[in-house]
Amino acid sequence: MSSEELEYLFKLDKTRNREGTDGEKGTGKGHILCKDCIEFLKSKIWAESSPGMGSTFSFTIPTAS
């Protein structure tokens, strides 16, 4: 993923339809939905990527108190 794609990955106003690795079609809203769910849990989500090398998605999960 390019740095521009990574910058807009979790932004609703910048969604992009893009073909998946198996040619599947998407709406560009899946990452935003994940972000909303994670943030609802008071957690964080982020992604790191290098074009042609793959992407790593990470998130935190709160511990029970």
pTM for the model: 0.73
The helix (H) or strand (E) run that includes residue 55 is strand 54-59
Q: Check residue 12 and report its DSSP letter.
A: G
**Residue 45's pLDDT is what?**
95
3-62 pLDDT, tens digit each = 888 888 888 887 666 677 788 887 778 889 999 999 999 999 999 999 989 899 999 988
Q: Which residues pair with 12 in a beta bridge?
A: none
**Residue 15's pLDDT is what?**
63
8, 1 in Cβ contact below 8 A?
no
**Residue 38's pLDDT is what?**
94
Coil/strand/helix, residue 49: strand
Those residues with Cβ within 8 angstroms of residue 14's Cβ, 6 or more apart along the chain or in another chain? 8
Domain ranges of the chain: 3-59
